[in-house]
A and B are shown apart, each in its own frame.
Chain A
Amino acid sequence: MMLSGFPDAAPLEGLLGGLLIGLAAAIMLLGLGRIAGVSGMAARATGISNSGAPWPVAVLFVGGLVLGAAVFTGLNGPIVATYPPSYSWLVAGGLIVGFGTRMGSGCTSGHGVCGMSRLSPRSLLATVTFIGSGMATVAISNAVLGAWS
């Protein structure tokens, strides 16, 4: 499906994928009584955090993320993905994302999906903050370093 004015957008795939992500988070909430927050689950699964979901739950959830994406590519073929121009962007971005998500107690899944849908003021403010700082970062890096190819 095309969205007029936005030739690159994939609104239908985005919406369908989003509905599935919501379903996944609903299974975690109603089945296991927990927030499907990926940063928290990753910290728990690797032993970086000692609190949160039971360790097997975190490991299976994180492993499931990889499995689900593998199943998708098995059915639909490889996914075209464009990465930053150098590995140093990945290292810098990863370090800051890791530090920031632990400090701010969540990321796009925990605060963005689970918290906003619960009308949590804390999560609404966190989400507005990381989207805003993300937009500012992209604008500045494009201006200073040029856009990705």
Chain B
Amino acid sequence: MIRSLLALLSGSIFGFGLALSGMIDPMRVRGFLDIFGAWDPTLAFVMGGATIVMAAAWLIQRRMHTPVACDEFSLPSTGLIDRKLLGGAALFGIGWGIAGLCPGPAIASLATNLIPAGIFVLSMLAGMLAYRVAERAT
């Protein structure tokens, strides 16, 4: 019960923060990526604010043996750098630039612009499924 509440709370605060920061507007995100045009640095402030709070959270995490509501931390490794990581990140950036949307703002936008956000989210899920199929084939 407490786990479910924390998951919903985390997602809701995340979605509210995305809306407040203006990241739900694809034009604004694209403005950040448009360094040769009318550059809009807002996204850098969003990343800065989020990173400061999370850096403090990581300092607290190092002193904790277990999370508050679970038995153990389930965290990804921080080291491995390979072609898959960089190729995937490069592809993600291309899609991000084309549509002005990344997964968080796109899903949050379902509350505000259902048709265009829904088209993006369904396409994104199809892309995720395509990767799963491609991964299994190799």
Q: Does the CB pair A96–B125 fall under 8 Å?
A: no
Q: Which residues of B contact A (CB under 8 A)?
A: 3-4, 6-28, 30-31, 33-58, 60-61, 64, 66-70, 72-81, 84-104, 106-113, 116, 119-132, 134-135
Q: How large is the interface on A (under 10, 10 to 19, 20 to 34, 35 or more residues)?
A: 35 or more
Q: Does the CB pair A107–B16 fall under 8 Å?
A: no
Q: Does the CB pair B81–A94 fall under 8 Å?
A: no
Give the interface SS of chain A, mostly helix, strand, loop or mixed.
helix
Q: Shortest Cβ distance from B122 into chain A, in angstroms?
A: 7
Q: Does the CB pair B40–A33 fall under 8 Å?
A: no
Which B residue sits closest to A25, measured CB to CB? B54
**Would you list 14 pairs from A and B whose C-beta atoms are within 8 A, ordered by A residue?**
A14-B44, A22-B50, A27-B13, A38-B102, A56-B3, A70-B15, A72-B19, A98-B131, A103-B84, A104-B85, A104-B92, A105-B85, A132-B93, A136-B97
Q: Does the CB pair A24–B13 fall under 8 Å?
A: yes
* CB neighbours of A25 from chain B (8 A): 10, 14, 50, 53-54, 57
Q: Does the CB pair A81–B4 fall under 8 Å?
A: no
- The winner among A16, A70, A102 for most chain B CB atoms within 10 A is A102
Which B residue sits closest to A111, measured CB to CB? B89
**10 interchain residue pairs of minimum CB distance:** A64-B11, A104-B88, A98-B127, A17-B21, A18-B49, A68-B15, A93-B99, A22-B53, A94-B123, A137-B97
Beyond A8-B40, A49-B132, whether A22 also contacts B49 by CB under 8 A is yes
Contact of B78 among A49, A73, A92, A122 (CB under 8 A): A122
- The winner among A58, A67, A100 for most chain B CB atoms within 10 A is A100
Beyond A14-B43, A79-B24, whether A137 also contacts B33 by CB under 8 A is yes
Q: Shortest Cβ distance from A73 into chain B, in angstroms?
A: 6
Beyond A90-B116, A103-B88, whether A108 also contacts B130 by CB under 8 A is no
Beyond A14-B46, A81-B109, A104-B91, whether A33 also contacts B72 by CB under 8 A is yes
